[in-house]
Amino acid sequence: MSVLQALDLRRRSASSVAPPPAGKAPAVEVAKLIDVSKCIGCKACQTACLEWNQLDQPIGFFDGTYNNPPDLTPASWTVMKYTEYENGDNLEWLIRKDGCMHCDDPGCLKACPAPGAIVQYTNGIVDFVSENCIGCGYCVKGCPFNIPRISKTDSKAYKCTLCSDRVVVGQAPACAKACPTQAIYFGTKADMIAHASKRIVDLKSRGFQNAGLYNPQGVNGTHVMYVLHHADKPSLYAGLPDNPHISPLVGVWKGVMKPLSLAAIAFAGVFGLMHYVTKGPNRVSESDERKATELAEGDKK
């Protein structure tokens, strides 16, 4: 599910990355902008995602909401999440297209122990490379948005690729192409931010005083951004994190603990060796054996 041949890497899980070939123009960062205020909840994006990525989402169950399937699955990389929000006398239907946010500081990639199972291209897209995935679920723990899903069929992790295979040939992601109201835009990150600011001015003029862009800085910004009418309360939108960041536990686990642990083990080994070299072995002497015999056979004498 990746396009390693055509896109340069910025990060590679559990490994270091060679810089892009010399002479290459710097990559342009891309982003998808989802304008929640323009979404009509038709699920064309969900269908387009299944179709383009040839995913087979088994028929599930009806859970009494419009969410179908109820949550992301290994085969449903994007799911519309519907929230009924009573804002004073006004009932607002908040519909958010859930899926990978393509964090600039990707927790999944930092948590991944398998070299090259998760990559981040220089254009900002975070991609899972299935052939290197070992199915350990560390990406699930690293992700601040609860996005990766482990397949019960092949024990590998799956999520939105931001259609890296389309982007690499100059196409917009399938969901953006299918959206009938153009609630999903795709382009350079700078263009998307500029476009969002126009939309926010428009929304504010319509009475949404807290309209704003969701591009959380806790993960150094994302390559999927939302225009929200209530940007002051992202969690209204089916639990979108107000201030997402990589868990400090993951930070410790994948940060200081790694070198300190190996250092401690190495130190213990060296300490043992040095002790043996300086103090020498502890041997039983001949007199110990003699005294033992004396004690054991004391009665016989």
Partner 1 sequence: MTVEAKPVSRYTTAARINHWITAVSLVLLALSGLSLFHPALFFLTDLFGGGQLTRVIHPWIGVVLAVSFLGLFFRFFTLNFWNRDDSVWMKNLGAVINNKEEGLPELGKYNAGQKLVFWGQSILILALFCSGIVLWDTYFFDLTSIDQKRLAAVAHALCAIAAILIWIVHVYAAIWVKGTLRAMTRGSVTGGWAWKHHRKWFRQEVGKP
Per CB under 8 A, 235 contacts partner 1: no
Give CA–CA dist 185/37, Å, rounded.
13
Spatial CA neighbour of 145 closest among 96, 192, 106: 106
Per CB under 8 A, 242 contacts partner 1: no
Q: Any idea which residue has 């080994």 for tokens?
A: 269
Our CB check for partner 1 shows the closer of 70 and 135 to be 135
Question: Minimum CB separation from partner 1 for residue 21, in Å?
Answer: 24
Per CB under 8 A, 275 contacts partner 1: yes
Our CB check for partner 1 shows the closer of 5 and 285 to be 285
Per CB under 8 A, 289 contacts partner 1: yes
Per CB under 8 A, 132 contacts partner 1: yes
Per CB under 8 A, 15 contacts partner 1: yes
Burial group, residue 94, by CB count within 10 angstroms (0-12, 13-18, 19+): buried
For the CA atoms of 57, 50, 126, 214, the dihedral, rounded to the nearest 10 degrees, stands at -100
Per CB under 8 A, 147 contacts partner 1: no
Residues that bind partner 1 (CB under 8 A): 14-15, 113-115, 132, 134-138, 140-141, 146, 150, 155, 247, 249-250, 252-253, 257-258, 261-262, 264-265, 268-269, 272, 275-276, 279-286, 288-293, 295-296, 298
